[in-house]
Chains A and B, each alone.
Chain A
Amino acid sequence: MGKFKKSSGTSQEIPTAALPDIIFMLLFFFMVTTVMRETELLVEQHLPRATQLSKIERKSLVSYIYIGPPKNAATFGTEPKIQVNDVFITPKDVVQFVNTEKDKLSEVERDQITMSMKVDIEAKMGIVADVQQELREANARKVLYSSLQGMDNQ
């Protein structure tokens, strides 16, 4: 009994030894569930809303094309432009871009490349059609029109 009496002298501090573990857990969660922002957007991106969305199966097969009015309107004007990686390109350069992206993939996967088109709702079909024409030329036929989940009105 005497042994137990001694323990009454414990300190009143809250044990914080588990705190780093909790924070690490959070850290790993965010590291796993998030992706690095690959490019800095130079164009406005207000994606359209749609209801019939499908997910991308394999992220490594996806390349992105951004289309929209430039953010820096004073320098680049207000007409929608095409952006890949960190630069603006013309529709003619799309084939070259697709080929560089295809080179990054292994040979068996090259035909499965998916182009994710992130197009601003302000853009007109003309520029989108030009890009699609070039994508057909480059034999990158799988296209995903990136959109947000909209209201389902059934």
Chain B
Amino acid sequence: MASKKNRPSTEVNAGSMADIAFLLLIFFLVTTTMANDKGIAMLLPPKPDPNQPPPEVKENDRNIFKIQANSKDLLLVEDEPLTDVEELKPMIKEFILNFGRPSEDAMQVYNDLPAPMKSFVSAYGRKSTSSDGPDKAIVSFKADRGTSYELYITVLDEVNAAYNEVYGERIGKTAQEFLQLDQKDPEQKKLYDQARSGMPRAISIAEPTKIGG
């Protein structure tokens, strides 16, 4: 009966639980990295069929916006040297939104544009020397094997920014908002398709030259 007085409590001692959990927590903190995988998405062209000769390029020169980079990281845009990469975006936007000789599809695209874009096109987008229409416009980028990857990404980013801004403007959003559209959501998917219809993101990455000059 005397022993009943100092009988220990029947509860399980959980005081060290926190220590164990802390240990696990620290283990996970150390061994893991936050998932931060973001990047510029690209689709490579399919591999050439050896039985078929490469298709002849029928596109008119005016429909191709040429960007070239050499091994010294110098840019040649539409056969003119360019020092400031940031000038590329407005140039490409103007190029995409040029309705030089619009086809029927391109006229449809034009009619669907929001008012501010229409006035932009009326002001700048009637040059017959530039692209025939957004459906025909191609941006071509050719780098050298010695071009730095940093410049390659910078240029690719500018080209994508130009396209995304045009897409965004069509549906009254910014480029970033356009990028964040979730394609699994039917409503947002509809907006996404609406923004891209009739304006393919035609970026052509040519095989690098080996000149090194």
Give chain B nearest CB distance to A23 CB in angstroms.
Answer: 4
Does B46 lie at the interface of the complex (its beta carbon under 8 Å from any beta carbon of A)? yes
- For chain B, the count of residues having a C-beta within 8 Å of the partner chain is 51
Binary flags per residue of A31-51, CB closer than 8 Å to B gives 1, else 0? 101111100000000001011
Contact A55 B38 (CB under 8 A): yes
Within 8 A of B (CB), among A129-154: 129, 132-133, 135-137, 139, 141-150, 152-154
Q: Count residues on chain A whose CB falls below 8 Å from chain B CBs.
A: 56
Question: Which residues on A sit within 8 Å (CB–CB) of B17?
Answer: 19-20
- Do residues B147 and A53 form an inter-chain contact, with CB atoms below 8 A? no
Q: Is the pair A37, B147 in contact by a Cβ cutoff of 8 Å?
A: no
Judged by a CB distance under 8 angstroms, whether B122 is at the interface is no
Report B-chain residues with C-beta under 8 Å of the C-beta of A128.
149, 152
Known: A36-B31, A143-B42. A51 touches B21 (CB 8 A): no
Once A20-B14, A124-B149 are accepted as A-B contacts, the answer to whether A149 and B157 lie under 8 Å apart by CB is no
Any B CB within 8 A of the CB of A4: no
Given A27-B25, A52-B164, A126-B208, residue A17 in contact with residue B39 (CB < 8 A): no
Among A20, A37, A116: residue with most chain B CB under 10 A: A20
A-B contact count (CB 8 A): 160
Contact A144 B179 (CB under 8 A): no
Looking at the assembled complex, report how far the CB atom of B169 sits from the nearest CB atom of chain A, in whole angstroms.
12
Contact of B150 with A48 in the complex, beta carbons under 8 Å: yes
Cβ-defined contact, A54 with B37, below 8 A: no
Q: List 21 A-B contacts (CB under 8 A).
A: A17-B14, A19-B17, A27-B21, A30-B29, A34-B32, A37-B31, A50-B157, A51-B161, A52-B175, A54-B179, A56-B37, A123-B149, A125-B147, A133-B207, A136-B46, A139-B47, A142-B41, A142-B43, A144-B39, A145-B39, A145-B42
